[in-house]
Amino acid sequence: MKLLFLGDFYYDYDYIAEDIKKISDFIKKNNYTTILNLEGSIKTNNIAKKVVKLDFSDKFIEVLKMLNVQAVNLANNHIMDYGKEGLELILKKLDKAGIGYFGAGINIENACKPYIFTKDDYKIALCGYGWDMEECINATHKNAGTAPIDFDLVEKTINNTECNLFIPIFHYGYEFEPLPQPLHLAKTRELLKNQNVRIIIGHHPHIVQAYEEKIYYSLGNFYFSGKREMFYNNKKHSKETSYGIGVVYDIDNDKKEIIEFLYDGKNSKIVKNYNKLNNITKINTNDYLEYFYKNNVFSNKRFVYKYGILNEKFLNRYKFHKRNLYKFYLRNIKWPSIRFVKKVLKK
């Protein structure tokens, strides 16, 4: 059995695009079983106060079936764009279509529950986790949301899940950053000590990050339909955001293969040897911090995880809440005031 892991997927077209048909043919020809990140929600009156909100068209379920999707990851920063109501609508549509899901739920118990499917008595478990530092709304015992990236919780879930293969999927890292965060790298590598964990998948940065033999920190964009032009026309990151990878994992022989996707301004297509990927497998965990601070892109975010757990629990949280306060000011005071003034001036 060959599992195909794809990156960020969003579909708002009200028709089936020709390039989707071609990718579908490729997947079915190779008999891949697909798992991807479902980046968006269903539009409701409960609108999140965000600059970018993603809502699917009625065609997205049909497209998922064409791509031979077995299950989708819901642990991302757009699944709660339309609140609990939007999430519940997504779950109902997936249930009706017979497509599995994991990573989000109406409470933390549901969000952390693994999705398990069987192939010839071989049990495969999938779990998704979202980083609240990048706008994932984590679930609680009373509130809907995503499973949190708590590595102790991840290890507990792995140890308490009866399966032959456990695949953790993380929505983490900063957008457009080509390197994984040092603490994420260290903690993710530790999960490989469990014999049931032989591959780990990540996404969120919208670009392909450095990878390892068993860890793919970010697969980049797979298919963003109506938003593809926005990424393509990005002056700073056009090349990176128009490129993504899929990872094929053959569970029968423990082999992996990378498939490359490229959006050329008109269509998404499968390409070969488009980008030379950065393999960081041989970089020792203790040496990675220095490597990261020499090579990461965003100088204003270089403080992140420099002090490990201390920064995650205290220093970074302070900046997180400070940023949220500024967003509250923009969304509730500044932008409404500007819209009001413009409306008055028009009269």
Q: Which two tokens stand for residue 86?
A: 């939007």
pLDDT of the chain along its 347 residues, tens only? 999 999 999 999 999 999 999 999 999 999 999 999 999 999 998 766 566 889 999 999 999 999 999 999 999 999 999 999 999 999 999 999 999 999 999 999 999 999 999 988 999 999 999 998 888 999 999 999 999 999 999 999 999 999 999 999 999 998 999 999 888 999 999 999 999 999 999 999 999 999 999 999 999 999 999 899 989 998 888 989 999 999 999 999 999 999 999 999 999 999 987 788 999 999 999 999 889 888 888 654 544 544 444 555 555 556 556 666 766 777 778 878 887 888 788 76
Residues 225 and 320 in one domain: no
Residues 327 and 302 in one domain: no
* pLDDT value, residue 324: 66
Residues 239 and 331 in one domain: no
* pLDDT value, residue 178: 94
286-342: per-residue pLDDT in tens?
999 889 888 888 654 544 544 444 555 555 556 556 666 766 777 778 878 887 888
Residues 238 and 312 in one domain: no
Residues 198 and 346 in one domain: no
* pLDDT value, residue 32: 97
* pLDDT value, residue 323: 60
Residues 328 and 294 in one domain: no
- Domain limits at 209? 2-306
Residues 285 and 235 in one domain: yes
Q: How many domains does the chain have?
A: 2
CA atoms within 13 A on the CB side of 329: 6
Q: Which two tokens stand for residue 89?
A: 């609508």
DSSP string over 68-132 = TEEEEE--STTTTTTHHHHHHHHHHHHHHHT-EEESEESSHHHHTPPEEEEETTEEEEEEEEE-G
Residues 120 and 239 in one domain: yes
Three-class secondary structure of residue 218 per DSSP: coil
Distance CA 72, CA 40 (A): 12
Residues 232 and 324 in one domain: no
Residues 340 and 239 in one domain: no
CA atoms within 13 A on the CB side of 297: 15
Distance CA 333, CA 205 (A): 29
Q: Which two tokens stand for residue 34?
A: 């697909």
Count of residues in the chain: 347
Residues 40 and 177 in one domain: yes
DSSP string over 257-305 = EEEEEEE-SS-EEEESS-S---B-TTS-HHHHHHHHHHH-S-GGGTTTT
Residues 293 and 313 in one domain: no
